[in-house]
C-alpha cells in the first residue's frame, strides 16, 4: 500500500513538472509568435520601401539625359502596368455602379 501511495505521489510530482513545462512552453511560443509577426511586418515595410526607392531610382534615371534604353524601357513597362491596373479598377468600379 505504501508503494502505491509513493508511486502516485511520484506520478503527481512528474505531472506537476510537466504542467509547468507546458505553461512555460506556451508562454515562449506566444513570445516567439509576437516576435515573428513584428519581424514579418518590418520585412514587409522594408520591401515596400525598397520598391519605392527602386521606382524613384528608375524615375531619376529616366529623367537624366544619360539614361540608357534599358532603363527607359523598364520605366515604360512599369508605367504601363500601373495604367493597366488603374483601367481594371475603373472598369470594376463602373461595373459595380451599373449593377
Counted residue by residue, the chain has a size of: 99
Within 13 A of 15's CA, how many CA atoms are on the CB side?
6
Tens of pLDDT, residue by residue over 13-49, are: 999 999 999 999 999 999 999 999 999 999 999 999 9
How many CA atoms are closer than 13 Å to the CA of 93, on its beta-carbon side?
A: 6
- Digit-coded pLDDT (tens) for 41-67: 999 999 999 999 988 888 787 776 565
**Got the DSSP string for 18-45?**
HHHHHHHHHHHHHHHHHHHHHHHHHHHH
How far is the C-alpha of 37 from the C-alpha of 47, rounded, in Å? Answer: 15
Amino acid at each position: 500500500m505504501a508503494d502505491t501511495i509513493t508511486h502516485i505521489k511520484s506520478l503527481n510530482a512528474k505531472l506537476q513538472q510537466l504542467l509547468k513545462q507546458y505553461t512555460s512552453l506556451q508562454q515562449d511560443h506566444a513570445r516567439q509568435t509576437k516576435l515573428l509577426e513584428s519581424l514579418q511586418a518590418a520585412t514587409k515595410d522594408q520591401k515596400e520601401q525598397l520598391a519605392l526607392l527602386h521606382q524613384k531610382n528608375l524615375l531619376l534615371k529616366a529623367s537624366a539625359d544619360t539614361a540608357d534604353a534599358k532603363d527607359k524601357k523598364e520605366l515604360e513597362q512599369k508605367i504601363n502596368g500601373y495604367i493597366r491596373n488603374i483601367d481594371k479598377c475603373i472598369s470594376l468600379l463602373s461595373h459595380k455602379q451599373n449593377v
